[in-house]
Amino acid sequence: MDTLRELRKSKGWSIRHLAERAGVSADTVLQAEHGNRKPGTGTLQKLSHALGVEVADLLAEPFGEYRKAGLAQMDSLTLDEVLMIFESRSAAYEDLKARVDKLEPGAERTHLRREMAQAHGRLMDVISELLMRPEIRAGTHEETDARSRTALLGILPPT
């Protein structure tokens, strides 16, 4: 979890210090930071509390420049083009997810999970862009919600 490492380092804390503040072992923090072990919900809550952040902040992957560039490129696209990009990115994410689910724990699975997190970020970029479109946002909140659902449900893969 690159985000965990970044948050810990931004506070100037050692692994041991974070572990003590969170009430978990130093090995738990180390394994989570290196992606060798996925922390459970309780551990995530302890770590987020110790760091003073939300659990979601620990799960977010930093995509920085890619995300800025990706969103800037979508400004000139039509709604249909944005929806096509969403469909493509959704399929890429689902493909990675299926591949990860078939793998035993190990380095390859960890690598693919990172790729999957990045693919998820790219997917969220398209959703953000979609929800900002004037064609979607026009009218009341209920109308906007209905248009958003209609646009996304037409192309989201079944769960």
Supply 82's token pair.
Answer: 């944005």
pLDDT given for residue 52 in this prediction: 82
b/e map 21-30, b = 16+ CB within 10 Å: bbebeeebbb
pLDDT given for residue 56 in this prediction: 59
Where along the chain do its domains lie? 2-59, 64-153
> Is the pTM value of this prediction over 0.85?
no
Supply 51's token pair.
Answer: 């760091």
Q: Which CATH architecture has domain 2-59?
A: Orthogonal Bundle (1.10)
Q: CB 10: neighbour CB atoms within 10 A?
A: 9
Residues of the chain with pLDDT under 70: 1-2, 54-77, 137, 152-159
Lookup result for tokens 């050692």: 14
SS3 string, 81-147, reads: HHHHHHHHHHHHHHHHHHHHHHCCCCHHHHHHHHHHHHHHHHHHHHHHHHHHCHHHHCCCHHHHHHH
d(CA 159, CA 156): 9
pLDDT given for residue 64 in this prediction: 41
Give tens-digit pLDDT for 110-130: 888 888 888 787 777 777 777
